[in-house]
Structure 1
Amino acid sequence: MHNQHILITGGSGLIGKGLTELLLTKGYTVSHLSRGKGHDSRIKTYQWNVDRGQIDENCLTGVDTIIHLAGAGIADKRWTKKRKRELIDSRTKSIGLIYDLMRRKPNLVKHIISASATGYYSNRGDELLTEESQPAKDFLGYCCVVWEQAVDQGKDLNLRIVKLRTGVVLSKKGGALPQLALPIKLGMGTALGTGKQWIPWIHIEDAVDMYLHAIENTTIQSVYNMVAPYPVTNKQLTKAVAKQLRRPYWLPNVPSFLLRVMLGKLSLVVLGSTKVSAEKIESTNFTFKYPKLADALKNIYG
């Protein structure tokens, strides 16, 4: 049994929920830092309001590891100027608030494991992207750079810092897959844009396991890509989902210009091509349960 105490920000999100369950079954003590009140008696929920700079000062009590998953959803709304600010602030000001508290109050925190995203590389065609690749010079790239920099501000606190650049997390319970599967379920399955753009996908279980891996292996630090080792194109993904759901894949591709009109800047999220390497995390002896897309989809829809 573990006596480790883990504080999670963004614990109600897709990965946050899965990770909370896994940690509880493994005997960890889990707390959440949240805007709302908690409804789970197994978890102590502390409250904060990032916009107002408010945080419950007791949230660090007994905590040795913080998992930072908080952040407004990239694809939830159109990218107005205000929304772009929200997307950045919800990620950077939140971890800043925690570091401010750590500087003011004695605590036991030794490890910070934070989400980042493969949006760091953004739209790069067929280039194979590793952790050493340069960030993109667009909004997604910029957002991830300042997010990671905000997390790295904790270096002067003598912390082990891990940043996991999350790809497209596949799950029935949320994320991109239900949105992608909807037209397919209705018999209108088709690739988006050219269909040749690479999707850096990962099964939800592997994503959650990777966080556990980073918690349990204290030699792991710095940045790792959180993607399956076999990337697929948008067309391959759409075809595989159609096959798994036994639905036709037949229409011509949805033209890029139409998606740009419908989605604005958000179209980058579906039209962007990001081919990401999983080699670095594999070199730490992390084993994927679902390295191949067909197996991942079979598990999700099986």
Structure 2
Amino acid sequence: KIISEIDAVINLAGEAIAPRRWTKERKKLILSSRIDTTRALVESIGKSDRRPKVLISASAVGYYGPRDEEPVNEYTSPSLGYLASVCLQWEAEAQKAEDFGLRVVRLRIGGVLGAGGGLLAQMVGPFKFFAGGPIGDGKQWFSWIHRDDVIGIIKYAIENESVSGPVNATAPNPVTNKEFSDALGKALNRPAIVNVPVFAVKLALGELASLLLTGQRVIPEKILEAGYEFKYPTIDEALTAIFQKSD
């Protein structure tokens, strides 16, 4: 009944990828929490007498897998590996809503930065104690986005019918891990000189460590072409705004 009364559905459901280690049970939960929820949602849409016009369904930049310097956009082929497989299956379930006449936007979201918890809260701790810095050599790419721009892109995608298919929800200026560490240290007025050893990350996180030790240089080509203007296009602007609000 609820679905028959709305024009747009936004699906962001899914168990958190981090910070807990990826046990077999946890990997199953990460997958099922996305696939089962999206499948049930699409099935409900199909049974509705009056269907929404658009489904905005989350995915992630993990679709592209570990990349080196190579920039990737929405037309880049998926990678292999666990997270890429999760994203492929997740997007496939969402795409089925097209069979019911909906416009489907598959939002490949990067690392979301915002005040009050989430990814950034996990990174700030060491810096506050003057122990922050890059992970390993710091050359791995980090495709980030301010939380306000995630909301902005979702709103823009709902209102603009030209937006469909895969859409990268990442800032237009990805940074390396070292560049991010330097920017975070600057925003917190702390040095970023303590390199975190690779072995320590692997020891602490197991398979999950791959998220921190590798990355992707993602370009949000489609949403830029569609005319969306980012509120926070650079990492310095984003972090300054976040910590000014949280003070």
TM-score using structure 2 length: 0.95
Corresponding position: 1:285 with 2:227: yes
Corresponding position: 1:130 with 2:86: no
Contact 1:164/1:225 (<8 A) preserved: yes
Aligned amino acid, residue 116 of structure 1? S
- SS at 2:168's partner residue? strand
- State the alpha-carbon separation in 2 of the partners of residues 137 and 274 from structure 1: 14
- SS at 1:288's partner residue? coil
Contact 2:106/2:166 (<8 A) preserved: yes
- State the alpha-carbon separation in 1 of the partners of residues 231 and 131 from structure 2: 30
C-alpha deviation, 1:59, in angstroms: 2.8
Q: How well do the aligned residues superpose, as a CA RMSD in angstroms?
A: 1.2
> Which stretches in structure 1 are left out of the alignment for 5+ residues?
1-57
Q: Deviations over 1:45-87 (max 9, x none)?
A: xxxxxxxxxxxxx331411210000000011422111111111
Of 239, 242, 247, the residue aligned with 1:297 is: 239
Higher relative contact order, chain-length normalized (CA < 8 Å, sep 6+) = 2
Aligned amino acid, residue 231 of structure 2? K
Q: Deviations over 1:114-160 (max 9, x none)?
A: 11100111211111011111111110111101000010111211110
Q: Which of the pair is proportionally richer in helix?
A: 2
After TM superposition, the structure 1 = structure 2 runs for residues 161-172 of structure 1, keeping only pairs within 5 Å, are 161-172=104-115
Of 201, 209, 212, the residue aligned with 2:152 is: 209
Aligned amino acid, residue 5 of structure 2? G
Q: Deviations over 1:201-225 (max 9, x none)?
A: 1111111100000011112111111
Aligned amino acid, residue 77 of structure 2? Q
TM-score using structure 1 length: 0.78
Contact 2:20/2:205 (<8 A) preserved: no
After the TM superposition, list the runs of 4 or more consecutive aligned residues in structure 1 that deviate by more than 4 angstroms. Answer: none
- State the alpha-carbon separation in 2 of the partners of residues 128 and 141 from structure 1: 17
> Which stretches in structure 2 are left out of the alignment for 5+ residues?
none
Name the structure 2 match of 1:156. 99
Aligned amino acid, residue 55 of structure 2? I
Aligned amino acid, residue 243 of structure 1? K
Contact 1:168/1:175 (<8 A) preserved: no
